[in-house]
Amino acid sequence: MTAVSEAAGSETHLRSPRPRGGLGRSVRDSLVVAKRNLIRMLRIPEVVIFGLIQPIMFVVLFTYVFGGSINIPGAPSGDARAYREFLMAGIFAQTVTFATAGAGAGIADDMHKGLIDRFRSLPMSRGAVLTGRTLADLVQTALTLVVLAVVALLIGWRSHENIAKVLGGFALLLLLGYAFSWIGALIGLSVRTPEAATSGGLIWLFPLTFISNAFVPVNGMPAFLQHIAEWNPFSATVAGARQLFGNTIGGVPRSVTGAWPMEHPVLASVLWSVLIIAVFRTLAVRKYRSATA
Amino acid sequence: MPGAIYAEGLVKTFGEVRALDGVDLDVPEGTVLGMLGPNGAGKTTAVRVLTTLLRPDRGTARVAGIDVLAHPDAVRRSIGLSGQFAAVDEYLTGRENLVMVGQLYQMSGRDAKRRAAELLERFNLADAADRTAKTYSGGMRRRLDLAAALVVSPPVMFMDEPTTGLDPRNRQALWDVIQELVAGGTTLLLTTQYLEEADRLAHDICVVDHGKVIARGTADQLKARTGGERVEVVVHAPEHLTVADEVLRTFAKGEGTVEPHTRKLTIPVAGGAKLLAEVIRELDTRGVEIDDIGLRRPTLDDVFISLTGHTAETADENDTDGNGSGAAGTGGETSRTAGVK
């Protein structure tokens, strides 16, 4: 500790520089936090790898286990290729929603370890810790989608639209993932342990993603479920992505109940995602301001 | 003029528990206030209010002359906080942690890097600068945490139990760092359960229990309140007890005690070392053979017990391993309680 004495006496007290304008500070602080989270991902690659295994498993299981038994309206009965095309947008969409659990667990862990207290005692933008986290999750989700798309191509999935539309489809999926990571942020701030955030971030995703048009056509469901499925924000994104990928065999997507989102899936998907971001970002930032570990 | 840390009538309740029950504080610039109290006394809550992490139900607080409730962001630019947990990111290197904190204090990337290098040097972490904090020992993590609190060399510092869970050697090293800091003019509020720590580091001490400040003053003033000095004598043989008692009565400033089984006599006195010499001479003259004699001043432990009726230190006092398992075990549990309460 001898080094301390030289520095301590001579040092003048300087306060941190005055903050720059609100928006500039928010953006910069968010990027600083996003960088921190991306470094963490590189140092704990297990998380990213396990995040990849699950969707790949789903692709293989659904394609080969259910594929032969599910009939897609408008396609020849038992046409495995038709189901593969139908399925992929659903798997992609389900994969992006898992960002919820990642964001939730990460933020709960930061609370638990006292890092949120550290951040809250700094003169930084109030939303930056959460925005930085959700941005880092967006990068991870994008990487996962790239790997998953390659696997999908390998087992025979094809898009039938131009590259701009295909990219648009992936953008739609990423927007949904980003929106869901804000739900995860709120969950992470609301629970006591990182474990609770992981399970709390995941369980509700199963009914949400299964009561939808993602894995089976809704026309096989009871009427009341059909209504739920077609108004499900998740279904709008699946249908929108299917449309932009050109995976619409026999005219699918097509609404069974006449729900508006199914008639305009791309627009509906964007609207749903923006609405989710607006609501959950507001709630999460408010929660962050008063968060107590 | 109010001090660098000033609070009046702070009240904070969590459900039924009044974590703060009308706390007043006034810490003059450049001094150290030791806030002493057992787990759950309200120390952590007080720090959280003063560092803008928690809004009080009632009361006012000013830090570095700035109203904590009205201008929290300005307060944050003037303070450093070092918590009970070593709040650093264990997957980042020491350097990355400090650069990140610097940038979030709104320094430019270049300034933040330069400052990080300075601090790593100053806290003997230069060799470990590019290793992840996960590989650090408990003492190194505390030093990194403290360095993070000093990135802008803030005029006011808060340390919440900075040495809880550290082994004696690391505790000593951290005390040295804190003393250097204070010598540089920083105002510091330090919470601790260790009476020795408050005695050693603080100019003024306030004793907190059940959300209230129950005593304040310098360590000497507090000790004086508990009843001044005593002379303790241990005689060589039990048969000398009676004579020794007779001798001591002539010096005593109050009721003394005799413990036959330990052959120990204690009397309250006034007069210090000079009086002790007289006592020894007199006992010698009367032929009392003594094994031990001493002038005892009350310790802060005595102060604490006399004020609160219980000791300050609790179960996690035994927890000295200083890293991971401490935080996850009893240490983590108790500090968590303090946070929630």
B17 at A interface, C-beta within 8 A? no
pLDDT of residue A187: 94
**Taking CA atoms, what residue in A is nearest to B174?**
A1
Distance CA B17, CA B211 (A): 9
Could you report the per-residue pLDDT of B21-79, keeping only the tens digit for each? 999 999 999 999 999 888 888 999 999 999 999 999 999 999 999 999 999 989 999 99
Question: B265-302 burial by CB neighbour count: b if 16+ within 10 A, else e?
Answer: bbbbbeeeeebbeebeebbeeeebebeeeeeeebebeb
B287 and B246 assigned to the same domain:
yes
B180 and B61 assigned to the same domain:
yes
Residue for token pair 């995602």: A273
Contacts of B53 in chain A (CB under 8 A): 117, 120-121, 292
Within the 204-243 window of chain B, which residues sit less than 8 Å (CB to CB) from chain A? Answer: none
Q: If you count residue pairs, one on A and one on B, with CB atoms under 8 Å apart, how many are there?
A: 131
pLDDT of residue B211 exceeding 80, the answer is yes
CB-nearest partner of B92 from A9, A19, A39:
A39
One-letter amino acid for residue B82 of the chain: S
The answer to whether residues B43 and B35 touch, using CB atoms and an 8 Å cutoff, is: yes
**Is the residue at B139 inside a domain?**
no
> B28: domain CATH number?
3.40.50.300
pLDDT of residue B333 exceeding 70, the answer is no
Domain of residue A39: give its range. 23-289
**Is the residue at A101 inside a domain?**
yes
CB-nearest partner of B89 from A3, A32, A115:
A115
How sure is the predictor about B334, in pLDDT bands with cuts at 50, 70 and 90? very low
**Is the residue at B34 inside a domain?**
yes
CB-nearest partner of B181 from A8, A28, A35:
A8
What percent of chain B has pLDDT above 70? Answer: 88
**Is the residue at A9 inside a domain?**
no
How would you write chain B as a 3-class SS string? Answer: CCCCEEEEEEEEEECCEEEEEEEEEEECCCCEEEEECCCCCCHHHHHHHHCCCCCCCEEEEEECCEECCCCHHHHHCCEEEECCCCCCCCCCEHHHHHHHHHHHCCCCHHHHHHHHHHHHHHCCCHHHCCCEHHHCCHHHHHHHHHHHHCCCCCCEEEEECCCCCCCHHHHHHHHHHHHHHHHCCCEEEEEECCHHHHHHHCCEEEEEECCEEEEEECHHHHHHHCCCCEEEEEECCHHHHHHHHHHHHCCCCCCCEEEHHHCEEEEECCCHHHHHHHHHHHHHHCCCCEEEEEEECCCHHHHHHHHHCCCCCCHHHHCCCCCHHHHHCHHHHHHHHHHHC
B158 and B70 assigned to the same domain:
yes
CB-nearest partner of B53 from A5, A121, A128:
A121
One-letter amino acid for residue A89 of the chain: A
Which comes out higher in pLDDT, residue B40 or A222?
A222
B283 and B165 assigned to the same domain:
no
B160 and B70 assigned to the same domain:
yes
The answer to whether residues B258 and B306 touch, using CB atoms and an 8 Å cutoff, is: no
How sure is the predictor about A21, in pLDDT bands with cuts at 50, 70 and 90? low
Mean pLDDT of chain B: 83
Domain of residue B249: give its range. 229-296
Distance CA A190, CA B64 (A): 33
The tokens describing B67, both together, are: 């109203």
How sure is the predictor about B187, in pLDDT bands with cuts at 50, 70 and 90? very high
The tokens describing A274, both together, are: 């923006």
pLDDT of residue B167: 84
Distance CA A123, CA A137 (A): 24
pLDDT of residue A11: 40
Peptide bond into A76 cis (omega under 30): no
**Taking CA atoms, what residue in B is nearest to A293?**
B339
| Subunit contact A16:B336, Cβ cutoff 8 A | no
The answer to whether residues A40 and A193 touch, using CB atoms and an 8 Å cutoff, is: no
Could you report the per-residue pLDDT of B110-155, keeping only the tens digit for each? 999 999 999 999 888 999 999 999 999 888 998 899 999 999 889 9
B235 and B204 assigned to the same domain:
no
**Is the residue at A14 inside a domain?**
no
**Is the residue at B32 inside a domain?**
yes
B173 at A interface, C-beta within 8 A? yes
Could you report the per-residue pLDDT of A127-159, keeping only the tens digit for each? 999 999 999 999 999 999 999 999 999 988 888
pLDDT of residue B300 exceeding 80, the answer is no
pLDDT of residue A75: 74
Give just the sign of the alpha carbon dihedral B247, B248, B253, B254: negative
pLDDT of residue B316 exceeding 50, the answer is no
What percent of chain A has pLDDT above 90? Answer: 52
The tokens describing A218, both together, are: 């809704």
Q: Which of A38-47, A236-245, A252-261 has the lowest mean pLDDT?
A: A252-261
Could you report the per-residue pLDDT of A69-127, keeping only the tens digit for each? 777 777 776 677 788 888 899 999 999 998 888 899 999 999 988 899 899 999 999 89
CB-nearest partner of A32 from B55, B103, B155:
B103
| Subunit contact B105:A122, Cβ cutoff 8 A | yes
The tokens describing A166, both together, are: 């295909």
B54 at A interface, C-beta within 8 A? yes
Domain count, chain B: 2
B257 and B158 assigned to the same domain:
no
Question: Which of A175-189, A203-217, B157-171, B294-308 ranks highest by mean pLDDT?
Answer: A175-189
**Is the residue at A257 inside a domain?**
yes
What is the complex's ipTM, to 2 decimals? 0.85
| Subunit contact A1:B173, Cβ cutoff 8 A | yes
Domain count, chain A: 1
Which comes out higher in pLDDT, residue B252 or B322?
B252
Which comes out higher in pLDDT, residue B101 or B83?
B101
A77 at B interface, C-beta within 8 A? no
